């Protein structure tokens, strides 16, 4: 794949020099801070050392007074509370967290996770009817609800007080319920809008804990927030950065039994769990519960008090995840064939693909893989009871939720945010929907946008990679969306002692620049072996990783791309 190299907008030297001198850090790292909008010593210290004291007051969120007060009243009156979650990591982690917290403070609580295949996304009358049969008087939705108009009206007609705890974009109107806490509401002035659903649910339990005069109690559940926030790819900046930083500390130092079983099963080790560990090791197993079966298994695992029992559930989910990969690969291969036919019309700026037999549990994963392969917004659909249901995934700069909103005349339902969404429509509407959707994409997506971009934070001399540099660099974590690992550019690089091919597609070599040598690995760049093997100088863009040899950590360059210096063609961001 060819990439655009874009270097972040150059910051003024005064800011960089001030950061470098006051923080006593290298100028290259001061520049990384500056291009991320951190321009003062105070901002940098808060970034490097996030504090729970800097969390926002939960009562700044519209509806929080009503929601927390009603739940406390329900606990005091021994009313049964019903938590309705979702079948992905964010939804099951949110349900697990609220369930455990409310039970531990004396609440009578049950939960419900819908069946992906029988009920689909969102709140349903099935859940409401079950709640009614249990004698429930309060329903809390987590990660769903903001567009579940009919089921919520039905619940209200049955005398149930519903509290929506969501983070998705609202529709044109808000549901008629007792309380809504969703920072994305237009009338909500909460200072930070982009929490995961579990982050919003955390603010709810934090508000309850404050009202009960046990404020520290809420912080015991930040491990759930870290898992959900990393898995749901919310921006790891501002309040999310604080929540995830402390949640990771808990996962590494004192994981709860239900999570410890999952950690054992994924072969992760204490003090090594990062946001990436969650995304690539833990989250797929949690998601597997709902992709191929009953998502309640994920909740039951996370709330276990017996780590051996949790480990057994995690093993079951690991097997499910292996099955999921088989469906995933088959669906991806078939979707690629359809995509190639679709893209014969070179003016296309999107993919809308449908097959009635694709497994609904892997649609979202495959849509993401297609975005990676073709770098176009993608809608992938399968069939269920004569309707098409599926997932939409986007590229940077294209708001897929707004695009679906512009197509809502074709849709039975949709929901999500600018990067990812779910939708359903009648099968006969797919052709017209796909044309209108692609027309919207053509209006917004330029030729530059369909070329994947590598964004460079700063230029670096390899000789700067001292132990002090690496120690400071580690403080930029946790990494994730909008706080990616810093990407550096180095020029005048050659390889020394040859180049090795690893796993048939990666290049491993020693990068040499100005008498400094360091290990480097270039993933999926076999096609550039001739350049690396030549004696010519080349430019590299890369992250800095740590590899372990004989138990000792060693820095290593993880090269994202490389090219001849005369063909660097770097664009300066506006």
pLDDT tens, position by position, 277-300: 999 999 999 999 998 889 999 999
Q: What is the CATH number of the domain that holds 432?
A: 3.10.310.30
User: Residue 413: its pLDDT value, please?
Assistant: 86
Separation between Cα atoms, residue 92 and residue 288, nearest integer Å: 12
Residue 549 has pLDDT above 80, yes or no: no
Residue 315 domain flag = no
Residue 551 has pLDDT above 70, yes or no: no
Residue 17 domain flag = yes
Residue 234 pLDDT grade (very low, low, confident, very high; cuts 50, 70, 90): very high
Residue 123 has pLDDT above 70, yes or no: yes
Do 184 and 165 share a structural domain?
Answer: yes
User: Residue 116: its pLDDT value, please?
Assistant: 81
Do 372 and 436 share a structural domain?
Answer: yes
User: Residue 409: its pLDDT value, please?
Assistant: 94
Do 431 and 296 share a structural domain?
Answer: no
Return the minimum-mean-pLDDT range out of 6-10, 201-205, 464-468, 557-561. Answer: 6-10
Q: What is the CATH number of the domain that holds 471?
A: 2.40.50.460
Decide if 524 contacts 545 (C-beta within 8 A).
no
Decide if 275 contacts 244 (C-beta within 8 A).
yes
* C-beta pairs of 348-351 under 8 Å, 24+ apart in sequence: 348/376, 348/438, 349/376, 349/377, 349/438, 349/441, 349/442, 349/445, 349/450, 350/376, 350/377, 350/378, 350/379, 350/434, 350/437, 350/438, 350/441, 350/445, 351/376, 351/377, 351/378, 351/379, 351/380
Residue 571 pLDDT grade (very low, low, confident, very high; cuts 50, 70, 90): confident
More confident site: 422 or 385 = 422
Decide if 294 contacts 281 (C-beta within 8 A).
no
Separation between Cα atoms, residue 251 and residue 69, nearest integer Å: 31
Residue 567 has pLDDT above 80, yes or no: no
Helices (H), 392-488: 400-406, 430-444, 467-473
Residue 434 domain flag = yes
Report the predicted TM-score, pTM, of the whole model to 2 decimal places: 0.91
User: Residue 275: its pLDDT value, please?
Assistant: 96
Separation between Cα atoms, residue 350 and residue 352, nearest integer Å: 7
User: Residue 178: its pLDDT value, please?
Assistant: 98
User: Residue 386: its pLDDT value, please?
Assistant: 81
Separation between Cα atoms, residue 182 and residue 67, nearest integer Å: 11
- Which percentage of the chain shows pLDDT scores above 70? 98
Q: What is the dihedral of CA 88, 141, 182, 178, to 10 degrees?
A: 170
pLDDT tens figures, 160-216:
999 999 999 898 899 999 999 999 999 999 999 999 999 999 999 999 999 999 999
**Domain termination residue (choose one: 281, 301, 321):** 301
User: Residue 574: its pLDDT value, please?
Assistant: 62
Do 494 and 425 share a structural domain?
Answer: no
Separation between Cα atoms, residue 379 and residue 197, nearest integer Å: 23
Structure letter (DSSP) for residue 125: H
Q: Kindly state the average pLDDT of the residues 371-397.
A: 93
**Domain termination residue (choose one: 450, 465, 498):** 450
Decide if 202 contacts 242 (C-beta within 8 A).
no
Q: Which of 395, 353, 396 lies closest to 377 in space, CA to CA?
A: 395
Do 273 and 151 share a structural domain?
Answer: yes
- Which percentage of the chain shows pLDDT scores above 90? 84
Q: How many residues does the chain have?
A: 574
Residue 569 pLDDT grade (very low, low, confident, very high; cuts 50, 70, 90): confident
Helix (H) or strand (E) holding 497: strand 488-502
User: Residue 205: its pLDDT value, please?
Assistant: 98
Number of domains the chain is built from: 3
Residue 319 domain flag = no
Token pair 């670096």: residue: 460
Token pair 């989910």: residue: 317
Residue 459 domain flag = yes
Q: Kindly state the average pLDDT of the residues 93-105.
A: 98
Q: What is the CATH number of the domain that holds 196?
A: 3.90.1640.30
Q: Kindly state the average pLDDT of the residues 30-35.
A: 95
Do 223 and 84 share a structural domain?
Answer: yes
Q: Which of 143, 149, 150 lies closest to 167 in space, CA to CA?
A: 143
For all residues of the chain together, what is the average pLDDT? 93
Residue 261 domain flag = no
Do 526 and 397 share a structural domain?
Answer: no
pLDDT tens figures, 449-458:
888 999 999 9
Domain that holds residue 355: 343-450
Decide if 511 contacts 531 (C-beta within 8 A).
no
Decide if 226 contacts 180 (C-beta within 8 A).
no
Which CA distances in Å does 74 have to 66, 101, 107, 113, 181? 12, 14, 8, 21, 18
Residue 548 domain flag = yes
User: Residue 103: its pLDDT value, please?
Assistant: 98
**Domain termination residue (choose one: 450, 482, 514):** 450
Do 402 and 294 share a structural domain?
Answer: no
Residue 89 domain flag = yes
Do 37 and 62 share a structural domain?
Answer: no
Across the strands, what pairs with 540?
490, 562
User: Residue 498: its pLDDT value, please?
Assistant: 87
Do 145 and 279 share a structural domain?
Answer: yes
**Strand ranges across the sheet with 179-181:** 108-112, 80-84, 138-142, 161-165, 179-181
Do 245 and 194 share a structural domain?
Answer: yes
Do 376 and 507 share a structural domain?
Answer: no
pLDDT tens figures, 427-462:
999 999 999 999 999 999 998 888 899 999 999 999
Separation between Cα atoms, residue 28 and residue 500, nearest integer Å: 30
Across the strands, what pairs with 458?
488
pLDDT tens figures, 494-536:
998 889 999 989 999 999 999 999 999 999 999 999 999 998 8
Helix (H) or strand (E) holding 149: helix 149-157
Separation between Cα atoms, residue 184 and residue 189, nearest integer Å: 9
Separation between Cα atoms, residue 196 and residue 202, nearest integer Å: 10
């Amino acid at each position: 794949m060819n990439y655009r190299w874009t270097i972040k907008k150059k910051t003024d030297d005064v800011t960089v020099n001030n950061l470098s001198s006051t923080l006593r850090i290298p100028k290259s790292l001061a520049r990384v801070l500056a291009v991320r909008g951190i321009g003062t010593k105070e901002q940098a210290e808060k970034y490097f050392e996030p504090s729970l004291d800097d969390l926002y007051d939960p009562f700044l969120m519209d509806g929080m007074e009503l929601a927390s007060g009603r739940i406390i009243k329900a606990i005091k009156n021994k009313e049964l509370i019903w938590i309705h979650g979702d079948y992905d990591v964010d939804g099951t982690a949110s349900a697990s967290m609220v369930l455990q917290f409310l039970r531990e403070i004396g609440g009578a609580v049950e939960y419900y996770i819908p069946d992906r295949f029988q009920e689909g996304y969102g709140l349903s009358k099935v859940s409401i009817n079950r709640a009614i049969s249990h004698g429930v008087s309060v329903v809390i939705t987590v990660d769903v609800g903001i567009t579940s108009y009919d089921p919520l009206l039905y619940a209200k007609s049955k005398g149930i007080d519903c509290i929506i705890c969501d983070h998705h974009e609202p529709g044109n109107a808000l549901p008629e319920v007792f309380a809504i806490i969703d920072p994305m509401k237009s009338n909500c002035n909460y200072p930070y809008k982009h929490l995961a659903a579990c982050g919003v649910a955390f603010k709810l339990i934090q508000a309850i804990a404050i009202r009960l005069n046990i404020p520290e109690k809420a912080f015991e559940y930040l491990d759930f927030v870290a898992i959900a926030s990393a898995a749901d790819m919310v921006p790891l900046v501002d309040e999310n950065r604080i929540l995830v930083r402390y949640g990771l500390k808990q996962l590494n130092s004192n994981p709860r039994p239900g999570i410890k079983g999952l950690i054992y099963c994924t072969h992760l080790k204490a003090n090594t769990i990062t946001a990436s560990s969650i995304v690539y090791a833990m989250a797929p197993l949690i998601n597997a519960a709902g992709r191929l079966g009953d998502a309640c298994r994920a909740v039951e695992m996370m709330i276990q008090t017996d780590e051996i029992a949790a480990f057994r559930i995690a093993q079951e989910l690991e097997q499910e995840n292996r099955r999921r990969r088989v469906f995933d690969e088959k669906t991806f291969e078939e979707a690629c064939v359809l995509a190639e036919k679709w893209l014969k019309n070179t003016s296309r700026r999107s993919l809308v693909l449908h097959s009635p037999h694709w497994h609904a549990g892997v649609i979202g994963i495959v849509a993401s893989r297609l975005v990676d392969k073709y770098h176009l917004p993608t809608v992938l659909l399968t069939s269920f009871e004569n309707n098409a249901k599926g997932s939409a995934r986007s590229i940077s700069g294209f708001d897929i939720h707004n695009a679906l909103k512009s197509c809502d005349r074709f849709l039975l339902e949709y929901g999500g945010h600018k990067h990812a969404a779910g939708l359903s429509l009648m099968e006969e509407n797919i052709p017209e929907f796909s044309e209108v959707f692609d027309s919207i994409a053509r209006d917004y997506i330029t030729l530059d946008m369909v070329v994947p971009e590598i964004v460079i934070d700063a230029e670096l001399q390899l000789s700067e990679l001292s132990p002090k540099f690496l120690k400071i660099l580690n403080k930029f974590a946790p990494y994730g969306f909008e706080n990616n690992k810093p990407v550096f550019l180095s020029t005048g690089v050659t390889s020394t002692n040859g180049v090795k091919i690893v796993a048939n597609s990666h290049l491993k070599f020693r990068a040499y620049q100005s008498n400094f040598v360091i290990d480097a690995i270039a993933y999926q760049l076999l096609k550039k072996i001739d350049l690396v093997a030549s004696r010519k100088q080349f430019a590299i863009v890369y992250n800095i990783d740590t590899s372990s040899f004989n138990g000792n950590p060693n820095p290593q360059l993880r090269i994202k791309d490389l090219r001849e210096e005369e063909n660097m063609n770097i664009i300066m961001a506006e």
